[in-house]
Copies of this chain bind each other. A is one copy, B any other.
Amino acid sequence: MKNYIKHDPWKIIEDKFNPDYNKISESICSLGNGKFGQRANFEESFSGKTLQGNYVSGVYYPDKTRVGWWKNGYPEYFAKMLNAPDWTGIKINIEGEELDLAKCKVENFSRVLDMKRGVLERKFTAETQSGKRLEVFSTRFLSIVRDENAAIKYTILPKNFSSKAEILSEVDADIKNEDSNYDEKFWTEIEKVSDENNTFVTAETKKTFFQVCTAIKTTLTNFSKAENILKEKYAAKKYTVQLTENQPFTVYKYAAVTSTMYYDKTEISKKTLEVLEKAFNDGFETLLKEQENAWEEKWRESDIIIDGDVAAQQGIHFNIFQLNQTYTGRDERLNIGPKGFTGEKYGGTTYWDTEAYCLPFYLATADKKVAHSLLVYRWKHLKKAIENAEKLGFTGGAALYPMVTANGEECHNEWEITFEEIHRNAAIANAVRIYIDYTGEKKYLADYGLEVLIGISRFWAQRVNWSADKEKYVMLGVTGPNEYENNVNNNWYTSYSAVQNLKYTIQAINFVKENYPQDFERIKKVCSFNESETEKWQDIIEKMYLGYDEKRKVFIQNDGFLDKELIPVSELDPKVRPINQHWSWDRILRSCYIKQADVLQGIYFFENNFDVETIKRNFEFYEQFTVHESSLSSCIHNILAAKVGLYDKAYQYYLNASRLDLDDYNNDTCDGCHITSMGGTWMTIVQGFGGMRIKDGMLSFKAVLPEKWNSYSFQIRHKDNVLKINVSKSGTQIERLEGSECQVIVDGKVIKV
């Protein structure tokens, strides 16, 4: 845990030069616009710790799988988020001395991410080894209005010298991924130009043949000479300039970053130059104004205001900011990578995190088209999910969605996860229900949802088997969300979710059949679906084995859990925490310690099915063994703690969730931020403290106000309404911002808004 980021409601402030924390700050201050993103790397040279990172959404590389021992069914490759050509470099060389903060005396450093405006600002005073002092101010943004443009304003103020200098404005495609399995570079060069008019590189990914064109345009206060530089995978302009003591010298750099996701290879460079030219002609200040206005609008839709707790306010702003700059819903082929645009770790782009933790945020704070895109993404991958299941031996249109994917194909290669962490299917099926709960758009079932539900239900029906011994259906060889148990039998969460999926699918079939009979006929044909399939599903619903401990009256996480030594986490020596860094894997597996909500995840998803006493008993039993060594754990515990009235615990879990990256709780923010868990943080306030649920098609609130706060407010879209909820010491006020009169439940009572 660290504590160097200053507290401020709207700004992320690093106000000292911390070279040791540079990779952390680079992650936290990353910028993105849904289409591409950029870590907060310095523009000038930096020989200290840094992780250069620019990422273009949808552009991936299938890196050849690396395993110790091959298992049948493993995928051949792992799709990696690509580190893409770098457009940011502005290298300053003053009389043979390269400006490099690792080699200077640095004062008055600050790096500030202004979340309100979507702008990154940096300043510092540097004294070079030869004694030259200069101030630098840089302002950078990735336009969320023109999502293929970015711009930098970079100002140099010499303090004690005048001299000639060289300024290099670069495009560098000779970059690599830190996590390359075989230390390979993933890009080849297609075209590069540096001439009087244009500077760009078009690079192509090996194997997948995506092209990314990165073009720049630079203006400077003045220059005496401009040279065109071309090297392998590299194009730049080198300017010879005169720096004058106490006179600011400014470089404007405009960039366009495009990909063959949107342009044909034959015209990508031409189009990119047009996109660049337009931005260039409009100018930095116009682009910046647009950016500020657009972010104002984003915040108007999605802001959460906490009064009385700046750290909490900063935390939730940071989470909302990152979610908004990572995913915009404009392209159904894109998704929310676990690190978004802030790092390359974990590869792939899509995990169950999207459905389980991110979906409610987008449903509640943006037009339903945004969440719709996330769901259609999975519908488009249904064929691949069926192929994935076939590779594992399933038949007849059973679908197993991948654990990790970029294009619908499975990438992951740990058997206990790849083949066994099948509860991801449940989250994807459940997302259909959540989408309809929020939007009321039941037609979605006929358009897309039912096909996905049928594929998943078929999978569950084959994945269980009849146990003659138990006289029940059992689900063998499963890994639940608690990855500290592998290959267990009858994971309650997975089995219970499967039953709920099967029930919902049968309801959905009946609904579509009745209301959209033509669609139903089409779906039957497309899926080769026979209505008699539901007979077995019904049988499974009735006879699924779900472990229950009569003594403690709790659900049993999985077979064998009660054979363990049940020693609460509180009795563990703090020195062995986190256990995943201190204990051998087998010791973790044999222990009772739970990585993240598992039984509780199920109770969270299907809360309406359980009374408060049941929730409380299970919460109290499992929470004591939970080590929360996943960023996805705290939010669920916050929500259930609030539900059962354990408000102090709820607040503690909120803190863990909301400042995870800002305070580098897990010592891994250097690799990038935990983007998908940020959706969970949003849920802690809305569903945790706000007690927001959707019951029988109505919004319901049962809010509590954390002691330290004066008030908080958030907004919810539901069907055609947008409501603003304000919780203060005087209670819960609800205001309708859009839509028509509606009924909501507040503290159990139906009221009109």
Q: Write the residues of chain A forming the contact surface with B, with a CB cutoff of 8 angstroms.
A: 65-69, 71-74, 391-393, 413-416, 419-420, 465-470, 474, 476-477, 486-489, 559-560, 562-566, 580-590
Which secondary structure dominates where chain A touches chain B? loop
Q: Can you sample 19 A-B contacts with CB below 8 Å?
A: A68-B68, A68-B414, A71-B585, A72-B581, A72-B585, A73-B585, A74-B585, A391-B584, A392-B584, A416-B487, A420-B586, A465-B564, A476-B560, A476-B563, A476-B564, A477-B589, A487-B487, A487-B589, A489-B560
Across the interface, which residues of B come within 8 angstroms of A562, CB to CB? 467-469
Q: Are B392 and A586 neighbours in the complex by a CB distance under 8 Å?
A: yes
Q: Are A393 and B587 neighbours in the complex by a CB distance under 8 Å?
A: yes
Across the interface, which residues of B come within 8 angstroms of A586, CB to CB? 73, 392, 415, 419-420, 477
Q: Which residue of B lies closest to A581 (CB)?
A: B72
Q: Which residue of B lies closest to A78 (CB)?
A: B68
Shortest Cβ distance from residue A214 to the other chain B in the assembled complex, whole angstroms:
32
Across the interface, which residues of B come within 8 angstroms of A470, CB to CB? 563
A67 to B467, CA, bound (A): 35
Across the interface, which residues of B come within 8 angstroms of A66, CB to CB? 66-68
Q: Which 4 A-B residue pairings sit nearest by Cβ, starting from the closest? A: A73-B584, A419-B586, A71-B585, A467-B563
Q: Are B486 and A584 neighbours in the complex by a CB distance under 8 Å?
A: no
Q: Which residue of B lies closest to A73 (CB)?
A: B584
A78 to B116, CA, bound (A): 53
Q: Are B559 and A468 neighbours in the complex by a CB distance under 8 Å?
A: no
Across the interface, which residues of B come within 8 angstroms of A71, CB to CB? 584-585
Shortest Cβ distance from residue A639 to the other chain B in the assembled complex, whole angstroms:
30
Instruction: With A469-B563, A486-B486 given, name 18 new contacts (CB 8 A).
Output: A65-B68, A66-B67, A67-B67, A68-B68, A68-B413, A71-B585, A72-B581, A73-B585, A392-B584, A392-B586, A415-B586, A419-B584, A419-B585, A467-B562, A476-B564, A486-B487, A489-B559, A489-B560
Contact of A587 among B392, B486, B560, B565 (CB under 8 A): B392
A529 to B55, CA, bound (A): 60
Shortest Cβ distance from residue A464 to the other chain B in the assembled complex, whole angstroms:
10
Shortest Cβ distance from residue A472 to the other chain B in the assembled complex, whole angstroms:
9
Q: Are B474 and A563 neighbours in the complex by a CB distance under 8 Å?
A: yes
A583 to B419, CA, bound (A): 12
Across the interface, which residues of B come within 8 angstroms of A486, CB to CB? 486-487
Q: Which residue of B lies closest to A580 (CB)?
A: B72
Q: Which residue of B lies closest to A422 (CB)?
A: B586
Across the interface, which residues of B come within 8 angstroms of A465, CB to CB? 563-565, 590
A485 to B520, CA, bound (A): 42
A66 to B581, CA, bound (A): 20
Q: Are A590 and B476 neighbours in the complex by a CB distance under 8 Å?
A: yes
A566 to B67, CA, bound (A): 32
A67 to B415, CA, bound (A): 13
Q: Are B563 and A72 neighbours in the complex by a CB distance under 8 Å?
A: no
Shortest Cβ distance from residue A549 to the other chain B in the assembled complex, whole angstroms:
9
A69 to B412, CA, bound (A): 10
Across the interface, which residues of B come within 8 angstroms of A587, CB to CB? 392-393
A393 to B415, CA, bound (A): 24
Q: Which residue of B lies closest to A466 (CB)?
A: B565
Across the interface, which residues of B come within 8 angstroms of A476, CB to CB? 560, 563-564, 589-590
Across the interface, which residues of B come within 8 angstroms of A565, CB to CB? 465-466
Q: Which residue of B lies closest to A472 (CB)?
A: B563
Across the interface, which residues of B come within 8 angstroms of A468, CB to CB? 562, 566
Across the interface, which residues of B come within 8 angstroms of A580, CB to CB? 72
Contact of A415 among B474, B477, B585 (CB under 8 A): B585
Shortest Cβ distance from residue A650 to the other chain B in the assembled complex, whole angstroms:
31
Across the interface, which residues of B come within 8 angstroms of A391, CB to CB? 584
A4 to B56, CA, bound (A): 58
Shortest Cβ distance from residue A627 to the other chain B in the assembled complex, whole angstroms:
14
A486 to B69, CA, bound (A): 15
